[in-house]
Structure 1
């Protein structure tokens, strides 16, 4: 669980990032979750965009991501979700 200070730091780090995944009409599927986990292992901090044609609400997607994966939802803003997971091999981000 992240503290509010850590979440604030991660939000500032994620500000300049572009979303690398888009959740569309098919919603959140198992292959997408696996790809997200692999991307988080490589990058530690990513953004995901929820498209308008997605049948699930952005908050539902964030809740499913929280439940399915072992990573933290840092922020849900607009149609964008920011995710963080500490890398086991390539640790880049040092939390305060």
Structure 2
């Protein structure tokens, strides 16, 4: 867990203002699956909000400390049931994720995206490529059909 200056913490609080919670912690508490999801979210976004359901303030404080200690993150803010935490991206993890993505997308033909915006852009690209190939295939089919009709008409 890195120590942040008050100015940096203020910048991060301002940056988190418009964010929506990406992880929700409910009745089961802090399970390994929840920690894994928080870790993936921190790797993708660095700054995240976590919504905690049904816990007292002291329990939420303890939960925030446990998450930050377990994942090497820094606590930024705790307002009501919302926790804001930050951690820098880990470079080695990012490279291995990119390598796995390239391998899996090469094998399956499906691209994996890190964010909803990237996913939507990839989906649009895929749809445009597919539409273009369908258009070329139909044009080639029409051309072959036209050629066959003119050849058969010339023979008569």
Moved over 2 A (4+): none
Does 1:30 find its partner at 2:36? no
User: Which structure 2 residue ranges, 5 or more long, are not aligned?
Assistant: 95-156
User: Which structure 1 residue ranges, 5 or more long, are not aligned?
Assistant: 91-96
Tell me the SS of whatever aligns to 1:19. coil
Root-mean-square deviation over aligned CA pairs: 1.7
2:71 to 69, 72, 77: 69
Tell me the SS of whatever aligns to 1:86. coil
1:86 is displaced (CA, Å) by: 0.8
What's the TM-score once normalised by structure 1's chain length?
A: 0.84
Q: Which has the larger radius of gyration?
A: 2
What's the TM-score once normalised by structure 2's chain length?
A: 0.53
Q: Distance in 1 between matches of 2:59 and 2:78?
A: 11
Q: Distance in 1 between matches of 2:75 and 2:36?
A: 16
More helix by share: 2
1:5 is displaced (CA, Å) by: 0.6
2:21 matched residue in structure 1: 19
2:43 matched residue in structure 1: 41
1:87 is displaced (CA, Å) by: 1.2
Provide, for residues 3-47 of structure 1, a one-character-per-residue CA deviation record: whole Å limited to 9, x for no partner.
Answer: 111100000000000001111000011111111111111111100
Tell me the SS of whatever aligns to 1:57. helix
More strand by share: 1
1:73 is displaced (CA, Å) by: 1.1
CA contact (8 A) 2:26 2:52 kept: yes
CA contact (8 A) 2:68 2:85 kept: no
1:67 is displaced (CA, Å) by: 1.9
